[in-house]
Amino acid sequence: MAAKRLTRREIVQEDKIQAALSGIFAWSSQNRFLLIACFSIFLLSILGSWLWQDYRSGRSEEIQAQFSEALKIYHAPVVEDTPENSEDPIIFDEYIFATDEERREKALEGFTAVVETASGTHLGLLARYYRGLLKQEMGQMGTAEEELNFVVRNSAESQTRNLARHLLADIAESQDDRQLASQLLEAILLEDTVSFPKDTILLRLAQNHEAAGNAEKALNFYTQLTTEYPTSGDSQEAQRRLDQLEKE
């Protein structure tokens, strides 16, 4: 069988392909060191990306472990004068402290280590919340407020922001700043997270307005509570206050 003869157009096209391949081969031969360098850089970038991801994963696990340890210390028992050989199971806890002051100081060190390692992360902001909580327990209200306000401003998690707001409202109430407490509680209501039952927040709001002399707002919040949550235990207290306010 005779071989098929190529047309002039096919011959020209084949010549172009051969010329292009020859050009590529010639360029590759002349620039082989450049190609090797580029390929090496590509491999190094892949390796670097993998190592960076591995490093970040390891750091994340380390930060989680630090936070978990600090939390364990915060909730550790305080046992004064535990007798030796006691059968009380509390003596088998990993951490035991003689005083609350000692426990708080140690927990504060742990949470501070997390903040310094991962300040802007979710765990870093949670650690700031606990630093604020510890400072509040230690009576350092100014520092506590600074920590908690930082969390409110910077956290992307509504649950975390509301934890900080709730504690700030506690501090405001302890300082008889009912207006600030009400503002913080209303902000919690607006974000409507499951961490804080709405009926409880409504009751606190009504009580704060009542204590501040804002009877009308107090009536509104008490009424909202009894209407929206008639079976809540807080609703009974709200109804009692409604009855009292209506008599006055």
> What structural domains and CATH numbers belong to the chain?
60-79+93-156 (1.25.40), 178-248 (1.25.40.10)
Closest by CA to 183, choosing from 142, 214, 154, is 214
How much is the pLDDT for 86? 52
The pTM of the whole model exceeds 0.85: no
pLDDT (tens, 9 = 90+) of the chain, 248 residues, equals 555 554 555 554 555 556 555 655 565 566 556 545 555 565 555 545 544 454 444 568 888 999 999 999 999 888 865 555 555 544 445 778 889 999 999 999 999 999 999 888 999 999 999 999 999 999 999 999 999 999 999 999 999 999 999 999 999 999 999 999 999 999 999 886 677 789 999 999 999 999 999 989 999 999 999 999 999 889 999 999 988 887 77
Q: In the structure encoding, which two tokens stand for residue 96, read together? A: 């035991």
Residue 134 makes CB contacts below 8 A (sequence gap 6+) with 74, 104, 107, 108, 111
